[in-house]
Amino acid sequence: MKLLWIEKMQGVIEAKVPFVVHDLAGYYEVTISRRPHYCDRGDWMIYVDACGRAAAMSGFDGSDGFPRYFFGTEEEAKAQMETWADRRANVVKEPVMTL
């Protein structure tokens, strides 16, 4: 699933991933931010929040393991989150919704 990434500020990008649970809409807000060059836990910090009317029923919880650290390029970090979104059962695959 290809996400629409928007640069919020230098080093911070965001995508919204729509999902539906019991006819209620929500979205995952995925934020990837660059970590300082001296950090040894990863080049990127990835956060995900469930938002909207269906947030409480999204199946998203602490066991999903966010925030996450990620080593590699920005494109690799984006690809990992696109794979994560693709594997979520409740994510709207097509058509892409405007939130």
Considering the domain boundaries, does residue 25 fall inside one?
yes
- pTM (2 d.p.): 0.83
Q: What is the pLDDT along the chain (99 residues), one digit of tens a residue?
A: 889 999 999 999 999 999 998 888 999 999 999 998 888 888 999 999 999 888 888 887 777 778 888 889 999 999 999 999 998 888 887 644 444
Residue 94 confidence (pLDDT): 65
Domain with 22 in it: 1-50
φ, ψ of residue 30 in degrees (nearest 5): -105, 120
Cβ atoms 6, 13 nearer than 8 A = yes
- The total of structural domains in the chain comes to 1
Q: Are 6 and 30 in contact (CB under 8 A)?
A: no
Q: Are the CB atoms for 70 and 76 separated by under 8 Å?
A: yes
How confident is the model at residue 65, as a pLDDT? 73
Task: Evaluate whether residue 37 is within a structural domain.
Answer: yes
Contact status, residue 76 vs residue 68, Cβ threshold 8 Å:
no
Length of the chain: 99
Among 19, 6, 7, which residue's Cα sits nearest to residue 60? Answer: 19
In a domain, 67, yes or no: no
